[in-house]
Amino acid sequence: MSEPGVVNQKQAALVARIQSGQARVGTIGLGYVGLPLAVEFASAGLTVRGFDILEDKVAAINRGESYVKDVPAARVAEHVAAGRLSASSDFAGLAECDAIIICVPTPLSKTKDPDLQMVVDASEAIAQHQRPGQLIVLESTTYPGTTEELIQPILERGGLKAGVDFFLAFSPERVDPGNPKFHTRNTPKIIGGVTPACSAAAQALYSRAIDTIIKVSSTRTAEMVKLLENTFRSVNIGLVNEVALMCERLGVDVWEVIEAAASKPFGFMPFYPGPGLGGHCIPIDPLYLSWKMKTLNYRARFIELAGEINSEMPEYVCERVALALNDQKKAVNGSRILIVGVAYKKDIDDVRESPALDIINVLRARGATVSFHDPFVPSVRFGDQVEMSVELMPAVREADAVLIVTDHTGLPWAEVVKSARLVVDTRNATRGIQSPNLQKL
């Protein structure tokens, strides 16, 4: 254990190494958060070692390749060739890092409770190779209290103390996959340290790679900021999905209503109805907060209600397809249905938690023959079957119904509507196109 006075020397030495560019940064988890972050720190001139348990990711990076759409392979290759970026599945290398950032998934368990096993595994790996003077930052989205209640004890088990012998902070990731404008460097970064010395060390690190740093007073505050951001989205998407259900009963075009409401220059922010909530963040993160609140005997009603409405949308969409087929004297049973777009949102290739998968399963359970076309997703695994994306127009012409689930940019929507017997559009991809065979949410 160090004397109180030493903490400044440890922190000063760490900050000096960061500012001189000598610091070695480790990122645990090389997915859509960890890889862009690793590349950004390498671009800032620091030496970065990415750690992942998946050998294929490690090998791809060391070959100078990128499997994350928002990270050009050329950037990976450049830093690997220059020796600034490398990857490994040997976590012993953590001992050489001055700063370690945990970017592993925080999914839900089968019982819809937080599953922090990957965060615990990463923390245990750090503890196993820990040395005084290191900065450890958790970026994975989690409930308020995780950093200090779960990670800190693991890292202090060997006798080192947070804020004295090592530095510990939480800094939420804010990656928006496919966003052409905002990426790691130009998205403001929230930082909350266990102690002010921890915050200062984290600020020194991130300001090397990110333009705007915002320090908050604690790790819990930083953890809650992220959950507010994502709960805000989930609740507003739930609201607008319910508005779509209301507008359908009122015989009013919900897309026209939202577009007109969005003309208000203040006090309104448009969200859009859709086939349901996909991705590994918005459907999941708010449940981390409602779970934590239950342990404090509080029921987070907005989160629960939004979750109910959003998770009912795939079923509602299937009902709309059934009614539209019925108008043409057809049943879902025996119909050929083409799903256009299976990614969870437009212009990305990720199908995790995509509502399209629920919709396909429901329609198949009702006896439909369902195929899909997605220019970003060449194949999807359904159980032990891998199904391929079909060519668009022949499938459109053959289908009894075409269901637009993801409004990828650049698809020939007018031609789809012209050639199809029936189109149900859940994303207003066909805005401005009129046809008796076209229905929208």
Residues in touch with ligand SAJ (CB under 6 A): 141, 173-177, 229-230, 233, 237, 271-272, 274, 277-279, 281-282, 344-345
The string of DSSP codes covering 346-362 is TT----TT-HHHHHHHH
Nearby residues of 272 by Cβ (< 8 Å), 6 or more positions away: 240, 255, 258, 427, 428
Residue 171: CB minimum distance to ligand SAJ, A: 13
Q: Which is nearer to ligand SAJ, 165 or 350 (CB)?
A: 350
- CB atoms under 10 Å from CB of 394, counted, come to 12
Q: Which is nearer to ligand SAJ, 34 or 278 (CB)?
A: 278
What does the block give as tokens for 412?
A: 């020939």
Q: Which is nearer to ligand SAJ, 169 or 237 (CB)?
A: 237
Residue 174: CB minimum distance to ligand SAJ, A: 4
What is d(CA 315, CA 366) in angstroms, rounded to the nearest whole number?
12
Whether 399 and 417 have beta carbons less than 8 Å apart is answered as no
- CB atoms under 10 Å from CB of 260, counted, come to 10
What is d(CA 411, CA 350) in angstroms, rounded to the nearest whole number?
18
* 281 given a catalytic annotation: yes
Residue 340: CB minimum distance to ligand SAJ, A: 14
Q: Which is nearer to ligand SAJ, 268 or 393 (CB)?
A: 268
Q: Which is nearer to ligand SAJ, 175 or 325 (CB)?
A: 175
What does the block give as tokens for 156?
A: 């202090």
Residue 165: CB minimum distance to ligand SAJ, A: 32
Residue whose C-alpha is closest to residue 85's, from 113, 103, 66, 68: 66
H helix runs in 129-218, sequence order: 146, 152-156, 196-206
Q: Residues 176-201, buried b or exposed e (16+ Cβ, 10 A)?
A: ebbeeeeebeebebbbbbbbebbbbb
What is d(CA 378, CA 307) in angstroms, rounded to the nearest whole number?
30
The helix (H) or strand (E) run that includes residue 417 is: helix 413-419
Going by their DSSP bridges, the two strands 423-425 and 438-440 should be labelled as parallel
Q: Position of tokens 């057809």?
A: 330
What is d(CA 422, CA 375) in angstroms, rounded to the nearest whole number?
21
Q: Which is nearer to ligand SAJ, 232 or 421 (CB)?
A: 232
Residue 330: CB minimum distance to ligand SAJ, A: 28
Q: Which is nearer to ligand SAJ, 133 or 275 (CB)?
A: 275
Residue 434: CB minimum distance to ligand SAJ, A: 24
In the set 198, 247, 281, 318, the catalytic residue is 281
Q: Residues 288-317, buried b or exposed e (16+ Cβ, 10 A)?
A: bbbbbbeeeeeebeebeebbebbebbbebb
Q: Which is nearer to ligand SAJ, 182 or 298 (CB)?
A: 182
- CB atoms under 10 Å from CB of 279, counted, come to 20
Active site residues: 281
